[in-house]
Chains A and B, each alone.
Chain A
Amino acid sequence: QLHLQESGPGLVKPSETLSLTCTVSGGSISSSSYYWGWIRQPPGKGLEWIGSIYHSGSTYYNPSLKSRVTASVDTSKNQVSLKVYSVTATDTAVYYCTRQAIGNYNWFDPWGQGTLVTVSS
């Protein structure tokens, strides 16, 4: 059974860079059928898609965040990573890693448990 686990610092200072890693187990991130997505959820609010990456390194991002985010992949470690630059308090959220089906319907399943990142000095 596929399992995704996010990791990274829970506290980041304003203007610094948020760095997260998602480790995938029970399956390969090199599958041709899936992208790997990042989604975030501010406390008490809804879900926002950040971006997605294929095992080749191909990426696409939400235009609202595109200038500040970079996703990467390490197939040797079965990991995907996310960096968010120049963070502010509005970047405080639970960050989820998820597998994204390729094709017309692009659903997200399964999801990691999520990791809360707080931006504060």
Chain B
Amino acid sequence: DIQMTQSPSSLSASVGDRVTITCRASQSIDSYVNWYQQKPGKAPKFLIYAASNLQSGAPSRFSGSGSGTDFTLTISSLQPEDFATFYCQQSYTSPYTFGQGTKLEIK
């Protein structure tokens, strides 16, 4: 199975900050990475597909980049509603696997 490793596991930041979360794959997966946001007690919400394409309806302050083994999710200016846990997912091959999550907390 392809392992997805996110860093950091948790992060404290303030409203207005620029934040970057990293996801590393255990082998090259081209740009087959999707990103999700999950708030406590809620289902994950789809944000980005194919590493850098914003899902329709997702705020433009979210962006993604990367290819091969290293990927990033960036939030350009944190808003109060962005505090949540973020997951990357590889869709290069089955079984589809997720990173362990990055919990973004308010400083």
Residues of A within 8 A of B (CB): 46-49, 60, 62-64, 96, 101, 104-114
Most A-side CB within 10 Å, residue of B43, B49, B100: B43
Please, which residues of chain A bring their CB within 8 A of the CB of B89? 47, 107-108
Residues of B within 8 A of A (CB): 1, 32, 34, 36, 42-46, 49-50, 55, 87, 89, 91, 94-101
Query: A107 to B44, Cβ gap below 8 A?
Result: no
Specify which of A48, A63, A106, A114 is in contact with B98 (CB 8 Å cutoff): A48
Docked pose: A42 CA to B96 CA in angstroms: 17
Q: Of all chain B residues, which has the CB nearest A50?
A: B95
Q: How many A-B residue pairs have CB under 8 A?
A: 58
Query: A107 to B34, Cβ gap below 8 A?
Result: yes
Please, which residues of chain B bring their CB within 8 A of the CB of A114? 43
Specify which of B1, B43, B49, B91 is in contact with A113 (CB 8 Å cutoff): B43
Nearest Cβ in chain A — how far from B1, in angstroms? 8
Query: A107 to B43, Cβ gap below 8 A?
Result: no
Query: B87 to A106, Cβ gap below 8 A?
Result: no
- Given the interface pairs A62-B95, A109-B55, the reply to whether A96 lies near B49 with Cβ below 8 Å is no
Q: Of all chain B residues, which has the CB nearest A48?
A: B98
Please, which residues of chain A bring their CB within 8 A of the CB of B1? 64
